[in-house]
């Protein structure tokens, strides 16, 4: 039994139910992706007070005015990157670190950037404690990407931008994919941008609501 009153078995059962009902039954069936969601204990990524809601079908507050995305949205965004293993991925908006852990389960290396130092620090402590040795952390403005490690096979942005940041497009490999919510602060469209020989193609995945991407190529505040 954990301090919270939940047993590890109960939480593992809730995780399995989440994967089946919220991800698989909604049409996302990649075995590597489903395994990743089964392997990452989402309840460790939410504040202790919210542990009973960790596997609910919604986003949750994680402190500093930020949220951990709804499980289905994390799955949809990850699925849109079409990862097969071996990739180098840039994750903008570390937040709780949950999305970074999911990516680290599937891809070879994950570079994650967060602008709020307290969130970056707690995510790093948690992910290192879980023995992820393929994630690197940066405190800073992710609208500028992380040029030292570019180009990336895939880039994922978990905060809403007024437009797709040019710096991120420039850090994509040929055929690389970028998934990002674009639009007004109170409602956006999730966009999937692919780099092609001729430039970039963009498709709309679904309407969504994210916190603001704040930075040089994001919102001002």
Establish if 211 lies at the interface with ligand SAH (CB under 6 A).
yes
Establish if 164 lies at the interface with ligand SAH (CB under 6 A).
no
Joined together, the tokens standing for residue 217 give 């190529």
Calculate the CA dihedral of residues 181, 182, 185, 186 and round it to 10 degrees.
Answer: -70
**CB contact at 8 A, 71 and 37:** yes
The residue from 135, 159, 168, 179 that contacts ligand SAH (CB under 6 A) is 159
Scanning 5-13, 36-44, 137-145, 177-185 for contacts with ligand SAH by CB under 6 A, the matching segment is: 137-145
80 is catalytic: no
Q: Which is nearer to ligand SAH, 5 or 129 (CB)?
A: 129
Establish if 122 lies at the interface with ligand SAH (CB under 6 A).
no
Establish if 99 lies at the interface with ligand SAH (CB under 6 A).
yes
**CB contact at 8 A, 80 and 68:** no
What number of CA atoms fall less than 13 Å from residue 81's CA on the CB side?
Answer: 32
Establish if 115 lies at the interface with ligand SAH (CB under 6 A).
yes
- State the number of binding residues for ligand SAH (CB under 6 A): 25
Q: What is the DSSP string of 16-56?
A: HHHIIIIIGGGT---HHHHHHHHHS-GGGGS-GGGGGGTTS
Which residues of the shown chain bind ligand SAH in the complex (CB under 6 A)? Answer: 66-69, 92-93, 95-96, 98-99, 113-116, 119, 141-143, 158-159, 211, 213-215, 218
């Amino acid at each position: 039994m954990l301090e919270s009153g939940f047993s590890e078995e109960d939480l593992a059962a809730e995780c399995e139910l989440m994967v089946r009902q919220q991800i698989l039954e909604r049409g996302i069936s990649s075995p590597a992706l489903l395994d990743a969601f089964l392997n990452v204990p989402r309840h460790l990524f939410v504040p202790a007070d919210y542990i009973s809601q960790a596997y609910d079908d919604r986003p949750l507050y994680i402190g500093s005015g930020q949220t951990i995305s709804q499980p289905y949205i994390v799955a949809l965004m990850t699925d849109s990157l079409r990862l097969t293993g071996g990739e180098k991925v840039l994750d903008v908006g570390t937040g709780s670190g949950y999305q970074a852990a999911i990516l680290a389960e599937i891809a070879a290396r994950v570079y994650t950037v967060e602008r709020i130092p307290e969130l970056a620090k707690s995510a790093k402590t948690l992910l290192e404690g879980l023995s992820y040795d393929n994630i690197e952390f940066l405190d800073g403005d992710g609208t500028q990407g992380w040029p030292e490690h570019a180009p990336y096979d895939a880039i994922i942005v978990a905060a809403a931008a007024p437009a797709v940041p040019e710096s991120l497009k420039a850090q994509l490999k040929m055929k690389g994919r970028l998934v990002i919510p674009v639009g007004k602060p109170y409602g956006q469209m999730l966009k999937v941008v692919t780099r092609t020989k001729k430039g970039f193609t963009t498709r709309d995945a679904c309407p969504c609501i994210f916190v603001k991407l704040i930075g040089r190529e994001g919102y001002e505040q």
